[in-house]
Every structure is written in C-alpha cells, then in structure tokens.
Amino acid sequence: MRSYFLYYPALIAALFWLASSSAAANNAAPIDIPKAVTSSLERNQIPKDAISISVIEIETGRSGKHISKNILGWRSEAVMNPASTMKLLTTLSGLDILGPHYRWRTNIYTDGIIRQGTLRGNLYLQGTGDPKLIPEELAKMMKELQGLGIQKIDGNLFFDRSAYAPSVMEHNTIDGEALRAYNVPPDPLLYAFRTLSFQLSKSRTADFIDISYTPALSQLKVVNQMQLVDRACDSWKSNIRFNLEPEGASSTDQTLMAQFSGAFPSSCKGVNFNIVALDANTFLTQGFAAAWELAGGTWTKPPIGKDGSVPLAARLLLQFEGIKLADDVVDINKYSNNVMARQVLLTLALEKMGKPATTANGDQVIQSWLKQNGLNFTDLIIENGSGLSRTEAISAEQMNQLLLTARNLPVAEVFYNSLPIAGTDGTMRNRLMGQLRKFLHLKKKPEARIKTGSLVDVRAISGYVLSKSGKMYAVTSFINHPNAWRGLEAHDQLLTWLLEDGPEPKQAR
C-alpha cells in the first residue's frame, strides 16, 4: 500500500503530461500568416483585418475517421461574405441528402390522342428544376417522344412551373446586369440556362465574319452588319452592338431578329457572345420546337407556348430523367454556375418539404443536415445557396469544418473530384501553373482542388491541398474589402505555402 501511495502522485503527473502533450499535438497554437502572404497583402493595400484564414491538416484517426489538426487561424471565426465558395455547402449537402445518382424529372402530359403518327392535342411540360436541361438532353427527349409513335404535333405548349414558388423565379440581381448569364433566375423548366450563346469568328475562306449560335431556336434570324477591322482582340466586345427584337408587327408573328453591327477584330480566332435576352416562355417554346424539328418531327403550325397547369384529365406521355446530380455538381463547382446551385437548394426544399419550393425551406433542410452532422453554424446566412449575394455569410473555420465533414461522408470522393484543379481546369485552370511545374519530377504530384469566389469587394478560396509530402490540408480564406480584387496573389501565396508543406514559398506568379 505504501509503495502505491508513493508512486501515485508521480503516476498522475506522468498521465497529466501525456494528456497535455497529446492535446498540444492536436490543438497546437496556430502559426502566423506566412510572410509572403502578408507582404502581398501590404503590396496590394489589403489590411490584415480584411482577411480571414483557416488551415487544418486532415489526418486519419485511430477509428478510421478523418480528424483535423489546427495549422493556421487568422480571424478564422469572423463571419464574412464567402462569394461562390458558398456553393460547397449547397453541393455537399445536396450530394449527401439526395444521393449522387439523383436525377431530375421533366414530365410531359397531353390532353390529346395519337392517330396515324400525329398527336392531336396540346403538350404540357411539368418541370422539377433540372438544372442542366440542355440541347443534348432535349434531343434525347425528342427521340423518346418519337418512340411513342409521334411524327407530327398538332397543338400548343403549356409550361407548368408549380414546383417553385413565384418569388424564387423573380429576376432580381445584385448588380443590375439582368442580361448576363450568371444572373439567370431559377426555373423549374430551365432550358440551356436561358442563355443564347453566339460564336463569332473571322471566316476561314473570306474577309467576313461567321456567326453561329446555340441552342437552336425555331424562328430566330441572325442579321450580320459587322465590319472586320485590323485591331487587337482583347477588347472585341466593346465595339459590338447587339439588338434582339420581333421582326414582324403582328402579335402572332413569332419571328425574332438578332442584329449585330459595329466592328470585329480580324485577329479574333473565335469568341462567345452570351446574352439572356428572351423571356423564359419564348426561349423554351422556340427551343423545344427547334429540337423537335431537328429530330425529324413536324408541326401542323408553329406552336404557341404559355404558362398553364397540367389539367386533371391530361395523361402522362413521358417522364424524362436528366443528368445525374454528381455530374451537375461538377459543373457547379468547377465552373461556378450560379443558377444550377440555386436549383440544387430548391430541389432540397422540393424533395424534403414539398412544393412549391422556397429558398427558406431549402435553408431549413440544410440547417437540419448540418446539425445531424454535428455542425452548429449559428451565424450562417443562406440567401440562395450560390454565393451570388451580398448577405450570405459563413466563417472560414466553419467552411473548413464542412470540408473535414465531407471526408467522412460516403460522397467524399464525388465531392472532392468536383472541385477545380489548379493549373488544369475550371476556375483554377490558369492558377499556380508556375509553382506546380516544380513538382513535375515527383512520382506523386501535389495538387490543389480549390473552389474560388469573387464579387465586387470579395475574393475567396476554399478546398483541399495535397502537399509534396502527401499531407492533406483544408484551406479557406475570405477577403472582404474594396481592394479584394487584388487579393489573388495573396491567396496563391497561401496555396503555394501549403503545396510546399509550410516553408516560405518563393515568389508566386
């Protein structure tokens, strides 16, 4: 008994030391911001109180689950505008709740009958928010309609958008640029992002300008009045004038005329002019009509398209399934598609709380999912789930908690693979190229998979870095400041520092 009491204090002290050492290893005091990052901030006149940084190292714990070790934290608890990095929350929750194989359904009903290859009656399209109903998918839909024995349609088109509340389809913008593709509002029957994409290039055979466009519209004419000029291509857009209007004076005339005038540089090898210039019904009507004609189908007369609920007496002709959610998430994260992200949020509301889907219901579904995963983001603000917002807010620390949680979910790799790869694709295609060349000799190449975000006064990064030694880091940094647009270099320095496992990087870019 005596020896027990003699050694008991020593044993307690030893155990206390071991516990303290273990805690210190897992919660070591974060190091300072790398010098190259602070130098870049100073050079670009961005104060340190305008940036937040969170870096954690992700390791595999004894239980097999991924755990984190704090590496760097600077104002990491500050709630800030994350711009498009907010898409990470929307897409991860969407993948986990709906499943990567989830597919949207577009139902087609009719109030008519099919006789001798002709459908005599109207078509009713009822959407559920497929974010990627593009020309290639519409072509598949036409083939499935033809598979029902239809060659000609004698009727009009009605569009049932009851899946969404009217408020979420309103065309509100934060910058007043209503004709820009990134501002397209959600639509349960969104076709080709409601965006006309014109391809302009100097003809290979003569001195004139070729203009083509997608998607095909049944009654669109292009009038080309542009002149070739000997000028650099970098400011080609500023010298082009575009007008889109009905050609005829009759209210029943559906012909559209897209008129281009101005100057086009002969040095341009090919550019895209994207514009949202048609209302949703006109765009879908003419897109659907053109797709039917391209598939070999005919119309008794050009169809008129308008809003309308599916009648109770109508019968289901076809239930068309779109692209898998996993594939859509790649487009959302790599290319930062705003309306696709918004429709994922609304789909969560639709599937879990019924129609009409609202942003508030989508927010509620995500908040519930966060709590189920042990994440209590009390200061989180979701306005639309895309980051195209002045009110959405989250902290860098919370975003990294989300990235850690992602590694322990069944959809971990699907989510990881959806992120832009530095120097390779998406919004990171032209980032860190010089730094990554230094690692070409290594058998296992380091990589940075980073979602980017930018608004006026906001620049953000969030994602994963695999370092040259094979360590995985989660990194998030937000800059909220009028000079945020100058913050790209500081963020690249931070990513370079992690690729190198933490030592001061050489001058980036």
Query: What pLDDT digit, counting tens, does each position of 146-202 carry?
Result: 999 999 999 999 999 999 999 999 999 999 898 899 999 999 999 999 999 999 998
Q: Two tokens at 314?
A: 């109508």
Q: What is the pTM of this model?
A: 0.90
Residue 339 has a pLDDT of 98
> What is the residue-wise DSSP string for 65-76?
SEEEEEEEEEST
Angle at the Cα of 493 (from 487 to 498), degrees rounded to 5? Answer: 135
Residue 252 has a pLDDT of 58
108: left (phi over 0), alpha (psi -120 to 50) or beta: beta
Q: Whole-angstrom Cα distance, residue 27 to residue 32?
A: 15
Residue 251 has a pLDDT of 46
- Of the candidates 475, 328, 455, 467, the one whose C-alpha atom is nearest the C-alpha of residue 401 is 475
> What is the residue-wise DSSP string for 200-220?
EEE-SSSSSEEEEEES--TTE
Residue 32 has a pLDDT of 84
The residue type of 237 is K
pLDDT tens sequence for the chain (509 residues): 333 333 334 433 443 333 333 333 344 445 789 999 999 999 999 999 999 999 999 999 888 899 999 999 999 999 999 999 999 999 999 999 999 999 999 999 999 999 999 999 999 999 999 999 999 999 999 999 999 999 999 999 999 999 999 999 999 999 989 889 999 999 999 999 999 999 999 887 778 899 999 999 999 999 999 999 998 998 899 999 999 987 544 445 689 999 999 999 999 988 999 999 899 999 999 999 999 999 999 999 999 999 999 999 999 999 999 999 999 999 999 999 999 999 999 999 999 999 999 999 999 999 999 999 999 999 999 999 999 999 999 999 999 999 999 999 999 999 999 999 999 999 999 999 999 999 999 989 999 999 999 999 999 999 999 999 999 999 999 999 999 999 999 999 999 999 999 864 444 33
